[in-house]
Structure 1
Amino acid sequence: ISSALTHVDNSESVLLQFWILHESRLNRCLALRRFEQRFKEIQSSFTQLYNDIIQLPDLNTSLHLFECCRTDNSNTREEIDQTLIQVDDLSERAQTMISHATLLANEGLGLIMEQQKQKSMAYGIDSIEPKCQELNEMKKKLTEQVDEKRNNLQLLRTYIDKLELINDWCTRGKDMLAMHPIHLSNDKAIRSLSELEHFLGDLSTINLDELQHSLTPEPLRVRF
């Protein structure tokens, strides 16, 4: 019996030493598996969200709609406004995904630092590092795509509004010229000149400079 008890004690001591030696390794392995599982989930969400964003009407599609409905800009405005609402909704989803991706990337860096600090056998560092880089790329691509969609649609909305203002301005100018005969008395000529100067000043209030910026997409850029 004494020999058996001694054997049990020795076995317990060996098992305890084994557990102390391997517990941290098992925990790191488990943390790596959880990291990889969360990465796959975020990667899948990113793919779906990114596809949803790029499938929204782009600038050329919206511009084509505008050209087809030039006589009634309200349809184009409504289309743009609806798309902007969709962009805002997708932007909120993107921000949520970006937050999750940031947390996971930080978690991955934490796993790497922990293993480097303990100077123990590396578990999946060669797998964690590229995944952290990919998470950062996902965040960048989502942000750029959402910003580009929103910016282009807002510029197109501005383009349509300003084009309508310019058309109205040109119509007013045409009517103004038709109303004034060629030969006028001095008083009428002075009054007509004043009206013309006021009319020309109205053009500056339309502020076409917004559509001349180098960052404005080529189809919407105004040149003089």
Structure 2
Amino acid sequence: MLRTFQGYWNSYSTLVNEKDYTEDIERMKASATAIAASLTEFGKTLRETELPNDADSTARILELQTAEKMAIKEEFKIAVRKGFTLLKSVRQLDKKPTPEQLSPTRLHNVTAIERMLVQLEETERSFDSFWTKHERRLRYCLELRQFEDSFRKLQAAFARHMLYLEEHREVGNCTEKALHLAEQHRQYTEGAMEEVEASRNLKKAGEDLINSNEAELSGSLEPKCEELERMAAALTSALERRGDCLKRSATMHEQIAQANAWCTRGADLLASGMSDFTNPNPGTSLTALDEFIEEGNHLNIEFLKDTTSPMNQLLLLTTIETSTLLNLIEERIGDIRRMSLAKRDQLNKLHLQKPPPVQIVTPEKKSKKNSKTEVSNME
């Protein structure tokens, strides 16, 4: 009887334990069902997500959906961990038992748990694949919106630079002023070229986005990349023209200063003792005048009036006074050169002219002549 009671008790205990496992399995099923419902709702949200037109909204959506995805992944992790714990409890063995080691009920429970774990794994894998595609699309959209924001900022910056160059056309009225403006422009160019470099980097980023096989979103990128290249080239060219113009202005004023100094020295030279035709050393004056004329031949004013040079055209158009000043300097140089050449011809003739013969009177003839004069006076 005792043996019968023990057998009955063991059978009852087994039924109780298996009933407990059944409840755990039902809870696991309920958990899996809840995860599936969350996935269905979340998947619908992802599919219906409209891509924003600005970077901030896109980043916010990506952040929120990533957080929700991580929460679902945590639910998967908890469900799988509980499932393996339950599976181990149902088996009551550390290693996977053979079917012969399990009762029919326990074998059924183990099979049910294993099937749910496999389904959870497959569902999670499918979800990961779907999320990867969605996240890639969101991140591409974010990069695209960031590209567009950067493009607009650079576009505005280039417009400001071009306006600055249009408003700053002064070339200086002397060498020192031109050099000062050139240094200011050099410093300004350093800052502007940083944005030129940024535009080139942004163009490279745009080309990478074009090559990422998201044709649906990348349609507007190619024109913007071309515009970035055009703006960078236009600004670089304008900065170079401004710098060259200021250098040419400094050179021009330096040449004008040299020409003025030469003309002033020439006027002084012509007004000095060189105009004295009785100068006993005309050769010395001629040498000095030749050196002066040769120095004038090295003046380089004519090249500044070469209208075939685009830089000269820009310089002459920049200020009317520049063109007028060059005309006056050229006229003055011509006058001094003509007078110097005329004076040179006169000095050369004077230098080549033979002096008159000198009559030599001997002392004897002079004494006789004096004696005759004295006799005549006495008579």
Question: How does the TM-score come out when normalised to structure 2?
Answer: 0.48
Cα distance in 2 between the residues matched to 1:79 and 1:93: 22
RMSD: 2.8
Counterpart pick for 2:186 among 76, 80, 88: 88
Cα distance in 2 between the residues matched to 1:13 and 1:190: 108
1:165-184 aligned at under 5 Å gives the runs 165-179=258-272, 180-181=274-275, 183-184=277-278
**Alignment partner, residue 72 of structure 1:** none
Does the CA-based 8 Å contact 1:29-1:123 persist in structure 2? Answer: no
Question: How does the TM-score come out when normalised to structure 1?
Answer: 0.77
Task: Pick 1 or 2: higher relative contact order, CA cutoff 8 A, min separation 6.
Answer: 1
Does the CA-based 8 Å contact 2:305-2:312 persist in structure 1? Answer: no
Quote the offset at 1:97 in angstroms: 0.7
Cα distance in 1 between the residues matched to 2:209 and 2:266: 70
Does the CA-based 8 Å contact 1:53-1:87 persist in structure 2? Answer: no
1:135-214 aligned at under 5 Å gives the runs 135-179=228-272, 180-181=274-275, 183-184=277-278, 188-208=281-301, 211=304, 214=308
CA deviations on 1:20-70 (whole Å, 9 max, x unpaired) are 3323222221211111112122222222233223221345xx4xxx3xxxx
Percentage identity across paired residues of the two chains: 26
Structure 2 counterpart of 1:164, one-letter code: A
1:20-35 aligned at under 5 Å gives the runs 20-35=132-147
Cα distance in 2 between the residues matched to 1:148 and 1:171: 34
Residue ranges of structure 2 left out of the alignment (5+ in a row):
1-25, 37-119, 317-321, 331-379
Structure 1 counterpart of 2:193, one-letter code: Q
Q: Does 1:98 pair with 2:210?
A: no
Aligned length: 204
Q: 1:135 to 1:90 in 2, by over 3 A?
A: same
**Alignment partner, residue 108 of structure 1:** 206
Cα distance in 1 between the residues matched to 2:265 and 2:195: 51
Does the CA-based 8 Å contact 1:54-1:145 persist in structure 2? Answer: no
Cα distance in 1 between the residues matched to 2:126 and 2:32: 12
Does the CA-based 8 Å contact 1:35-1:108 persist in structure 2? Answer: yes
Cα distance in 1 between the residues matched to 2:296 and 2:275: 23
Does the CA-based 8 Å contact 2:256-2:301 persist in structure 1? Answer: no
Structure 1 counterpart of 2:202, one-letter code: L
CA deviations on 1:181-210 (whole Å, 9 max, x unpaired) are 36346x623222211111111124434465
